[in-house]
């Protein structure tokens, strides 16, 4: 089975869950942001593969394929009017966790020789409505000392 077939077959089975109606505010806001990010990227031609893959070493919000690349997407959702851009929250420690999670994901799908990148999508909301979506392609490189390939 090719890595694409594997991901398509198992993609929807990893980590997907319905949120209860009494979920905490930050989780509800995060889910809203992830849905907006997914919709935005699909409109740009990205092919959705998976969401919310959790491992002991980290979590991947969204995974897409775009122009032959595997794209690992970190979604950051914030209220309009914050002092810092949401992407500022993706610090060195967070990048390291995302790198580890991406390597775990690649291991699970059979270590394909496929190019990949890390994108960030910033979602700004106001009164529980999506205000703006910003896509930051190739936002950072794999954290050292990790390598793939």
**Cα(first)–Cα(last) distance of the chain, in Å?**
20
DSSP string, 42-91: HHTTPEEEEEEEEETTEEEEEEEEETTEEEEEEEEEEETT-SS-GGGG--
- What distance in Å separates the CA atoms of residue 51 and residue 64, rounded to the nearest whole number? 9
Would you identify the CATH topology of the domain 3-123? Trna Endonuclease; Chain: A, domain 1 (3.40.1350)
Taking only the tens place, the pLDDT of each residue in 52-106 is: 988 888 899 999 999 999 999 999 999 998 888 999 999 999 999 999 999 999 9
- What distance in Å separates the CA atoms of residue 96 and residue 6, rounded to the nearest whole number? 26
Query: What's the pTM value of the predicted model, to 2 decimals?
Result: 0.82
Share of the chain above pLDDT 70, in %: 81
- What distance in Å separates the CA atoms of residue 121 and residue 100, rounded to the nearest whole number? 19
């Amino acid at each position: 089975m090719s890595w694409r077939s594997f991901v398509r077959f198992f993609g929807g089975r990893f980590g997907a869950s319905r949120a209860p109606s009494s979920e905490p505010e930050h989780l509800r806001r995060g889910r809203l942001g992830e849905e907006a990010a997914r919709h935005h990227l699909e409109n740009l031609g990205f092919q959705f593969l998976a969401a919310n893959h959790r491992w002991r070493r980290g979590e991947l919000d969204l995974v897409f394929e775009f122009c032959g690349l595997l794209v690992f997407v970190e979604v950051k959702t914030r209220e309009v009017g914050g002092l810092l851009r949401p992407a500022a929250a993706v610090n060195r420690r967070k990048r390291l966790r995302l790198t580890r999670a991406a390597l775990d994901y690649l291991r699970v799908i059979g270590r394909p020789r496929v190019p990949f990148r890390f994108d960030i999508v910033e979602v700004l909301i106001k009164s529980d409505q999506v205000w703006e979506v910003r896509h930051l392609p190739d936002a950072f490189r794999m954290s050292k000392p990790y390598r793939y390939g």
